[in-house]
Amino acid sequence: MSAPLVPSSPHRVEVIAPDPECAALLLEYASPTFPAELVTGVPLLVRLQPPPLEPRWVVEFLAVLQRWLEAAPLPYAKVVYGGRSYMIRASLDLAQLVGPANADAATWPADAIGSEG
């Protein structure tokens, strides 16, 4: 089952799921790494709560997302974070994202995603 989220936290990631089965699969993959919950409605969301003080959460999130996209199988995921939406393709190469230890991974890598907003 999913861990409860901090109700009013602005530091969250929402992934739009195309159907309940895909949402359940993402919840299964994400919940060992992040507190996660299913938000029913239109659109169907999986809401994750990444650790606010750990900037490397982005790499962990992208690894979970890639695993989900391959297993579902889906060509991309629509993700909402920080008031912006992103389309993340299934062909993402995580090796390109792992940079120097002092790199700020709290921002979305521009070459891995396409900003919509």
- pLDDT, one tens digit per residue, over 26-55 is 999 999 999 999 999 999 999 999 988 888
The pLDDT value given to residue 115: 47
The pLDDT value given to residue 95: 45
CB-CB contact of 47 with 17 (8 Å):
no
Q: What is the identity of the amino acid at 49?
A: Q
Per-residue model confidence as pLDDT tens digits over 68-106: 999 999 999 999 998 999 999 986 454 455 444 444 444
17-25 long-range contacts (CB < 8 A, ≥24 apart) are 17/43, 17/44, 17/45, 17/46, 18/44, 18/74, 19/44, 20/44, 22/68, 22/72, 22/74, 25/68, 25/71, 25/72
pLDDT score of 21 more than 90: yes
CA 19, 71, 107, 53 torsion-angle sign: positive
* Domain ranges (residues) in the chain: 13-115
